[in-house]
Amino acid sequence: MTPTELAPAFFIAAVVILLVCRLVVLVAGRFGQPPVVGEMIAGVVLGPSLFGLVAPDASDAVFPPELIPMLYVAGQIGLVALMFHAGYAFRAHAGRGLAGTAVAVSSAGVVVPLLLGVGLTFAAHGRVDIFVPGVSVWVTAAFVGVALAITAFPMLARIITERGLSGTRHGSLSLASGATDDAAAWLLLAGVLSVASEKTGPVIKALGGSLLFVAVLFLLGRRLLAWIVTRPGLSDETRLLFTVAVLFCGAWFTDTIQLYAVFGAFCVGLAMPRHETSERLVRTVQGVTQVVFVPMFFTYSGLNTRFDVFTDPAVMVFGAACVVLAALGKFGGCWAAARLCGEPGPVAVRVGALMNARGLMQLIALNIGLSAGIVGDELFAALVLVALVTTVMTAPVLSWLDRRDAGSRPAGEPAGSAETVPAGS
155 confidence band (pLDDT: 50, 70, 90): confident
Average pLDDT over residues 200-218: 82
Name the H helices within 65-152. Answer: 68-93, 99-124, 137-149
Q: What is the pLDDT of residues 334-377, one digit of tens each?
A: 999 999 998 888 889 999 998 988 877 787 788 788 877 888 88
Nearest to 366 by CA among 291, 287, 305, 294: 305
Q: What is the pLDDT of residues 37-76, one digit of tens each?
A: 888 888 888 988 889 888 989 999 999 989 988 998 998 8
pLDDT at 423: 37
Contact 146, 189 (CB under 8 A): yes
Q: What is the pLDDT of residues 9-39, one digit of tens each?
A: 999 999 999 999 999 999 988 887 878 788 8
93 confidence band (pLDDT: 50, 70, 90): low
What is the overall mean pLDDT for the chain? 84
Contact 162, 86 (CB under 8 A): no
Say which DSSP state 328 is in. Answer: I
pLDDT at 200 over 70: no
What is the residue type of 19? L
Q: What angle do CA 346, 350, 356 make, to 5 degrees?
A: 150
What distance in Å separates the CA atoms of residue 352 and residue 357, rounded to the nearest whole number? Answer: 9
pLDDT at 416 over 70: no
Give the dihedral of Cα atoms 99, 101, 102, 108; nearest 10 deg. Answer: 140
What distance in Å separates the CA atoms of residue 140 and residue 109, rounded to the nearest whole number? Answer: 20
What distance in Å separates the CA atoms of residue 425 and residue 416, rounded to the nearest whole number? Answer: 14
pLDDT at 283: 85
Contact 46, 18 (CB under 8 A): no
Q: pTM of this prediction?
A: 0.78
